[in-house]
């Protein structure tokens, strides 16, 4: 059983942060709220999302897992105006999700969860550096790097207490740095890793520009980025594996 009412904004933010990596996902329904974990087909980027029951106007479930085609559900959610409420109700008989927005009603066929790519184990990483910055700074870094390259290096200089971004193209390059004063917080530790911009661009699309992002970095290690959604009643963690630095 699953019957919930949620604001269109919250639902869209939730779905968008997963759909930048995968098309289909399993949604775990628990007493505390919903949980989604998914990894892209190449096992390079991962999302781990939790949306608490408190983020919903009303929330009832006796547990279970449903498989969802994200773009279809996003289309349904797109039919609502920003402030409108969306009711989601699982029809156990037909295995369809009943969606209601004001007078608009629809049903969405669910996907057999077993047919969806296995969820990954969350690597337990102890990363030496933590940077807390605004979403718009990540956007700026990604946009700048994208001008010249398809790769981006993220790092922290322990001595100078600086977070930096490097992108090297065939002919042009970009360097961007933020000191302790420009950052919300910094736990300095030596860190430098190279990432594919393809993935970071996708993740950046779902990162709210005004949100506080906690970024954890290491030496040739994955980057982790945490941020809140639904006014703190939900969290998203992205993890992205690095590229090997050839030179």
3-state SS assignment for residue 84: coil
129-134 sheet: strands from edge to edge: 64-69, 24-30, 33-39, 45-52, 234-240, 223-229, 212-217, 129-134, 185-187
58 Cβ partners below 8 Å, 6+ apart?
A: 3, 4, 5
User: Smallest distance from the beta carbon of 190 to other proteins, in angstroms?
Assistant: 18
Site for other proteins in 61-90 (CB under 8 A): 69, 71
Between 159 and 198, how does the x/- string for binding to other proteins read (CB under 8 A)? ---------xxx-------------------------x-x
What is the nearest approach in angstroms of other proteins to the Cβ of residue 44? 6
Window 96-135: residues binding other proteins (CB under 8 A): 117, 120-125
Q: What is the C-alpha to C-alpha distance for residues 15 and 19, in angstroms, rounded to an integer?
A: 6
Eight-state DSSP code of residue 120: P
**Alpha-carbon separation of residue 238 from 8, 40, 122, 168, 171 (angstroms):** 22, 11, 11, 24, 31
Interface residue with other proteins among 3, 43, 94, 158 (CB under 8 A) is: 43
**Could you give the strand order of the β-sheet that contains 104-109, starting from the edge strand earlier in sequence?**
58-61, 2-7, 85-91, 96-101, 104-109
**Closer residue to other proteins in complex, CB, 38/99:** 38
- With CB under 8 A as the contact rule, the residue among 149, 152, 204, 217 that binds other proteins is 149
The answer to the question of residue 57 lying near other proteins (CB under 8 A) is: no
**Of 46, 49, 73, 152, which one interacts with other proteins (CB under 8 A)?**
46
Query: Cα–Cα distance between 144 and 171 in angstroms, integer?
Result: 15
**Beta carbon of residue 64, minimum distance to other proteins (angstroms, whole number):** 24
Q: Rule CB under 8 A: is residue 146 a binding residue for other proteins?
A: no
Q: Provide, rounded to whole angstroms, the least separation between the CB of residue 147 and other proteins.
A: 13
Distance CA 111, CA 88 (A): 16
Q: Contact residues for other proteins (CB under 8 A)? A: 19, 22-23, 39-46, 69, 71, 117, 120-125, 149-151, 168-170, 196, 198, 221-222, 239, 241-244, 246
């Amino acid at each position: 059983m699953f019957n919930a009412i949620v604001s269109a904004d919250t639902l869209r933010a939730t779905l968008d942060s997963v759909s930048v990596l995968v098309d289909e996902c399993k949604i775990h329904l628990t007493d505390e709220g919903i949980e989604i974990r998914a990894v892209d087909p190449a096992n390079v980027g991962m999302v781990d999302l939790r949306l608490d029951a408190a983020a919903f106007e009303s929330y009832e479930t006796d547990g279970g897992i449903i498989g969802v085609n994200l773009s279809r559900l996003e289309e349904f959610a797109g039919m609502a105006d920003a402030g409108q409420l969306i009711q989601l109700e699982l029809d156990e008989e037909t295995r369809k999700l009943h969606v209601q927005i004001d007078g608009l009603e629809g049903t969405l066929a669910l996907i057999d969860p077993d047919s969806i790519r296995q969820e990954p184990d969350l690597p337990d990483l102890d990363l030496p550096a933590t940077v807390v910055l605004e979403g718009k700074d990540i956007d700026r870094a990604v946009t700048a790097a994208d001008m010249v390259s398809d790769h981006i290096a993220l790092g922290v200089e322990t001595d100078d207490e600086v977070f930096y971004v490097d992108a090297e193209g065939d002919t042009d390059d970009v360097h961007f740095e933020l000191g302790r004063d420009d950052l919300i917080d910094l736990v300095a530790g030596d860190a430098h890793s190279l990432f594919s911009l393809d993935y970071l661009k996708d993740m950046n699309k779902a990162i709210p520009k005004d949100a506080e992002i906690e970024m954890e970095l290491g030496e040739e290690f994955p980057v982790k980025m945490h941020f809140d959604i639904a006014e703190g009643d939900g969290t998203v963690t992205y993890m992205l594996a690095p590229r090997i630095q050839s030179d």
